Amino acid sequence: MPSYTKYIKHLPQFCIIENYFTPEEIEKIIDFEELQEFTEGKMGTNGKNVNKEHRDSDISWLHCNPETRWVFDKFGSLLGQVNHSHFMYDIDGFDAFQYTKYKPKQHYNWHYDAFAEFHAFERKISACIMLTDPRKYSGGDFQIVPYGNIEKIESYKPSHGSVIFFASWMPHRVAPVKSGVRKSLVAWIMGRRTC
- Mean pLDDT over 90-104 rounds to 96
- The separation between CA 140 and the C-alpha centre of its own chain, rounded to angstroms, equals 14
Dihedrals phi, psi of 101, to nearest 5 degrees: -120, 135
> What is the DSSP secondary structure assignment for residue 176, as one 8-state letter?
P
Confidence of residue 36 (pLDDT cuts 50, 70, 90): confident
How do 163-167 and 14-17 pair as beta strands? antiparallel
CB atoms within 10 A of CB 123: 19
Q: Is 175 or 46 the better-scoring residue by pLDDT?
A: 175
Among residues 169, 164, 188, the alpha carbon closest in space to that of 92 is found at 188
**At residue 46, does pLDDT exceed 60?**
no
For the whole model, what pTM was predicted?
0.90
List CB contacts of 127: < 8 A, sequence separation 6 or more: 75, 79, 163, 164, 165, 166, 186, 187, 188, 189
Confidence of residue 150 (pLDDT cuts 50, 70, 90): confident
- Mean pLDDT over 164-183 rounds to 97
